[in-house]
Amino acid sequence: MSSVWDDLDLLLDSPSSLTVNSTVHGTVKEKPGFNAGEDAAALRKAIEGIGTTEKTLIDILTQRSNAQRQLICKAYQDATGRTLCDDLEGDTHGHFEDILVALVTPPAKFDCQEFIRAIKGAGTNESILIELFASRSNHQIKAMCDAYLAETGRALIHDLKSEVSGDFEKTLLILAEGKRVESTNVDVAKAKEDAKILYEAGEKKWGTDESKFIDILCHRSVPQLRQTLVEYKSLSGKTLQESIEREMSGRLEDILVAIGDYKGFLVVFVKARIISHKMHKCFQFCLDFFFCLIFCFILYFILSSLILFL
């Protein structure tokens, strides 16, 4: 499967997630003429009637933005005194239930639940941790941390430290602090300097200075990082992904490549390819296949709604 990093030559002419107009781009859009009360009533009828009308549930919940789905949840609870989530859990089953419940779960709560699922029991699902922290914005990470504190009474970062180690831990903890620069300005000279630092920390030396890769990939703004990726390829003749895969291994390699995927390539023409790649990995490697697939599906909704102001 080709890599999204192969499209570096198209990057700088593509819309950024920071500047793109969400009413124009993306496949999951705000529904024109949206009425939360009408949708809530239709869902109530579909659930309370004789047999659940699955088509109505699918049509409404997959064709509204996340913000609209949350308004529907509020209207539903106001009208019935019950939560839509509880009623979906009572009237649907299996993985169909799982995905509908995920769709109506507030994003921060969904992320919190996924984090808990990643660290519970014996062993840690590091793949979920990578997807969560590599793809989320500062604001979303803070919201996840707040939701986790409210749910468990513990600090997310404290529990994260007990689950991971080494440079992988260092990378995750930096991302969990949510300190990525959020400026939309691009300093080309700085991008060239960072590209040179990365090249000299990896390809140009014997051994690799992983800390330089971690620092730049975890702290630079999205537009700045995109420029750096372009400058790196111009300098080295390779994509940064190729260098990371050549110089590193294991989970550190995985998370740094994932950061490049999400932060460097969150543009309209590659979002579907990013998710396609994640789903392909589910088919190949994931033991918890259906939960991984649902996670990818919800991630697609997040990216396609262009709500990641990274």
Lowest-confidence range among 115-119, 137-141, 302-306? 302-306
pLDDT attached to residue 33: 95
Residues with Cβ within 8 Å of 155's Cβ and at least 6 positions away in sequence, in order, are: 145, 148, 149
The verdict on 10 and 79 lying in the same domain is no
Q: What is the 3-state secondary structure (H, E, C) of the chain?
A: CCCHHHHHHHHCCCCCCCCCCCCCCCCCCCCCCCCHHHHHHHHHHHHHCCCCCHHHHHHHHCCCCHHHHHHHHHHHHHHHCCCHHHHHHHHCCHHHHHHHHHHHCCHHHHHHHHHHHHHCCCCCCHHHHHHHHHHCCHHHHHHHHHHHHHHHCCCHHHHHHCCCCHHHHHHHHHHHHCCCCCCCCCCHHHHHHHHHHHHHHCCCCCCCCHHHHHHHHHHCCHHHHHHHHHHHHHHHCCCHHHHHHHHCCHHHHHHHHHHHHHHHCCCHHHHHHHHHHHHHHHHHHCCCHHHHHHHHHHHHHHHHCCCCCC
The verdict on 204 and 267 lying in the same domain is yes
> Alpha carbon of 253 to those of 168, 241, 247, 287: distances in Å?
9, 9, 8, 21
pLDDT attached to residue 262: 78
pLDDT attached to residue 205: 79
Higher model confidence: residue 240 or residue 22? 240
Residues with Cβ within 8 Å of 63's Cβ and at least 6 positions away in sequence, in order, are: 31
In a domain, 147, yes or no: no
The verdict on 67 and 10 lying in the same domain is no
In a domain, 50, yes or no: yes
Lowest-confidence range among 50-54, 214-218, 253-257, 276-280? 276-280
pLDDT attached to residue 124: 86
What is the CB-side half-sphere exposure of residue 16 using CA atoms within 13 A? Answer: 19
Residue carrying the six token digits 């789905």: 69
- Interval 62-72 mean pLDDT: 93
The verdict on 87 and 9 lying in the same domain is no
Asked if residue 13 has pLDDT above 60, the reply is no
- Interval 171-191 mean pLDDT: 95
The verdict on 223 and 265 lying in the same domain is yes
pTM: 0.81
Phi, psi (rounded to 5 degrees) for 213: -65, -45
The verdict on 91 and 11 lying in the same domain is no
The verdict on 192 and 272 lying in the same domain is yes
Q: pLDDT confidence of 308, banded at 50, 70, 90?
A: very low
pLDDT attached to residue 25: 45
Q: What is the DSSP string of 263-295?
A: II--SHHHHHHHHHHHHHHHHHH-SSHHHHHHH
Higher model confidence: residue 65 or residue 266? 65
In a domain, 119, yes or no: no
Domain boundary among 53, 71, 104: 104
Rounded to a whole number of angstroms, the CA Rg of the chain reads: 21
The verdict on 9 and 40 lying in the same domain is no
Query: Whose CA is closest to 80, among 34, 52, 48, 104?
Result: 48
Lowest-confidence range among 102-111, 206-215, 275-284? 275-284
Asked if residue 10 has pLDDT above 70, the reply is no
pLDDT digits (tens, 9 = 90+) for 198-212: 999 998 878 899 999
The verdict on 213 and 261 lying in the same domain is yes
In a domain, 242, yes or no: yes
pLDDT digits (tens, 9 = 90+) for 110-138: 999 999 999 997 778 898 899 899 989 99
Domain boundary among 54, 81, 104: 104
Lowest-confidence range among 17-26, 220-229, 283-292? 17-26
Domain range for residue 42? 36-104
In a domain, 220, yes or no: yes
Number of structural domains found in the chain: 2
In a domain, 207, yes or no: yes
pLDDT attached to residue 270: 44
Higher model confidence: residue 1 or residue 106? 106
Higher model confidence: residue 52 or residue 30? 30
Average pLDDT, the chain: 83
Domain boundary among 104, 119, 141: 104
The verdict on 206 and 260 lying in the same domain is yes
In a domain, 191, yes or no: yes
The verdict on 81 and 41 lying in the same domain is yes
The verdict on 251 and 203 lying in the same domain is yes
Higher model confidence: residue 73 or residue 22? 73
In a domain, 224, yes or no: yes
Contact by Cβ (8 Å): 229, 8: yes
pLDDT digits (tens, 9 = 90+) for 78-101: 999 999 999 999 999 988 898 899
**CATH at 80:** 1.10.220.10
